[in-house]
Amino acid sequence: MKKIDLHCHTTASDGLLQPEELLDLAVANDLTYCAITDHDTIDGLDAAIQYSKQLDGLNFIPGIEFSVDYPHGSFHLVGLGIDHTNEQMTETIINLKEKRETRVVRIVKDLENHDINISLDEVYSEAKGAALGRPHVARVLLKNGYGNILSDIFENFMVKGKPGFIKKEKISLEKAIELIILSRGIPIIAHPISLNFQNWHDFENILQDCIKLGLQGIEVYAHMHTDEEVNVFKKIANKYNLLISGGSDFHGDKKETIGYYGENKIIPFDIINQFI
Ligand code: AMP
Ligand code: FE
Ligand code: FE
Ligand code: ZN
């Protein structure tokens, strides 16, 4: 059965597979459309575009996932089909990369202040030049015996009130949407449940503001969503004439399967027709 996946990560950010390896996996799992949407970086896209040319039947979609400044929850904005060579896009990304680097230095320092000693070098070699993030620090903490599984680490470190918590400086929603549109991509709210809204009415209000700024779609099919939430997000997307997206948010170190948004839940193939 043909499958699609519009949200995947690689070693360019915090995924475990190289772009080429991710695309091989996509082909092996019968995907005909696959997007790479790394956190705040486009570094994997050149390699993926090149490599996808030699893959029969796989359409590669260059994308990005911005962490957007938002007071109440975690706002991730995916851009699909971007021209990643756009100059404003590349400039912004260089700036965000620098901010991520400074943050990780501060995270390691704060851990040290709490007698948790991991070396920055170890984090760098874990990241191998990728856009640095908490997952790289988390993997080093795991390797050094500070937890048994990754989720333990994210419970005990680098979150509010715990050692190593340093807030991330993020791009504004306005700027992120504008950049994606400038680079001819489609701006989509990723896993909208992570916005932590109070109720559906509250979500619709947030959504209306986003639409005014140029938002074009929402990721309805996401592993963070219950079946019930998937249904409501779908209804709301239709109500506001928004595109419906779906992705596994594949990183390679959790339970995700490419082409699925949960156990036995295939990302509906038909949604690709809205994009092509
Ligand atoms: P950062 O952008 O540096 O704040 O890191 C955010 C990333 O950390 C997310 O995209 C996830 O990949 C990862 N992450 C956050 N919370 C968890 C968790 N509880 N378990 C595993 N990975 C997590
Ligand atoms: Fe991630
Ligand atoms: Fe995300
Ligand atoms: Zn993601």
Give 46 Cα–ligand 1 centroid separation in angstroms: 24
Please tell me the total number of residues recorded for the chain in this structure. 276
Mutation test of ligand 1: which of 75, 104, 134 has the most ligand atoms closer than 8 Å to its C-beta? Answer: 134
Mean pLDDT across 72-77: 93
Atom index in ligand 1 nearest the CA of residue 67 equals 2
Which is it for the CA torsion 129, 150, 61, 218, positive or negative? Answer: negative
Give 134 Cα–ligand 1 centroid separation in angstroms: 6
**What is residue 267's predicted lDDT score, i.e. its pLDDT?**
98
Q: Do 107 and 158 meet the contact criterion of CB atoms below 8 Å apart?
A: yes
pLDDT at 91 over 90: yes
Q: Which amino acid residue places its CA nearest to atom 14 of ligand 1?
A: 135
Atom index in ligand 1 nearest the CA of residue 9 equals 12
Q: Do 46 and 38 meet the contact criterion of CB atoms below 8 Å apart?
A: no
Ligand 1 binding pocket includes 150 (Cβ within 6 Å): yes
Q: Which amino acid residue places its CA nearest to atom 4 of ligand 1?
A: 134
Mean pLDDT across 161-171: 96
Average pLDDT along the chain: 97
Write phi, then psi, for 38 (nearest 5 degrees): -75, 155
Q: What's this model's pTM, rounded to 2 decimal places? A: 0.94
Each residue's pLDDT tens digit, 28-37: 999 999 999 9
Ligand 1 binding pocket includes 251 (Cβ within 6 Å): yes
Per the DSSP assignment, residues forming a β-bridge with 33 are 4, 59
In the numeric block, which tokens belong to residue 13?
């950010």
**What is residue 72's predicted lDDT score, i.e. its pLDDT?**
85
Ligand 1 binding pocket includes 126 (Cβ within 6 Å): no
DSSP 217: E
Q: What angle do CA 50, 55, 60 make, to 5 degrees?
A: 60
Ligand 1 binding pocket includes 15 (Cβ within 6 Å): no
Q: Which amino acid residue places its CA nearest to atom 11 of ligand 1?
A: 135
Give 250 Cα–ligand 2 centroid separation in angstroms: 8
DSSP 13-68: TT-SS-HHHHHHHHHHTTEEEEEEEEET--TTHHHHHHHHTTSTT-EEEEEEEEEE
**What is residue 223's predicted lDDT score, i.e. its pLDDT?**
97
Ligand 1 binding pocket includes 164 (Cβ within 6 Å): no
The 3 state secondary structure assigned to 242-260 is: CEEEECCCECCCCCCCCCE
Each residue's pLDDT tens digit, 194-214: 999 999 999 999 999 999 999
Mean pLDDT across 3-20: 97
Q: Which amino acid residue places its CA nearest to atom 5 of ligand 1?
A: 134
Ligand 1 binding pocket includes 67 (Cβ within 6 Å): yes
Give 75 Cα–ligand 1 centroid separation in angstroms: 13
